[in-house]
Amino acid sequence: MTAFSTAFLHTGSRPVPRAAWRRRLALHLTVWKERRTLRRLSAHHLADLGLTPAQAEAEARRPIWDLPADRAFLHHSRQS
């Protein structure tokens, strides 16, 4: 393997640096864990956060790759 092939993952048409790929994976896993935690909170705790149980359930059901806009923006701004 060359240094290039070990430092980059090829996704589609362009290589992605391994460090960026790891950061993105870590972000997705963090969001997934947060959503699992949100699902477990009581209605009282959700009210403290300004959320209804329906809103919390809707957020918890989002797929792992569906990042909140503010989190996806932060991720993209760090790569630049």
Task: Give the rounded percent of residues in the chain with a pLDDT score beyond 90.
Answer: 48
- The 3-state secondary structure of the chain reads CCHHHHHEEEECCEEEEHHHHHHHHHHHHHHHHHHHHHHHCCHHHHHHCCCCHHHHHHHHCCCCCCCCHHHHHHHHHHHC
pLDDT of residue 30: 94
pLDDT digits (tens, 9 = 90+) for 44-72: 999 999 999 999 999 999 998 888 888 87
Question: Residues 33-51: what's their mean pLDDT?
Answer: 96
pLDDT of residue 48: 97
pLDDT of residue 51: 96
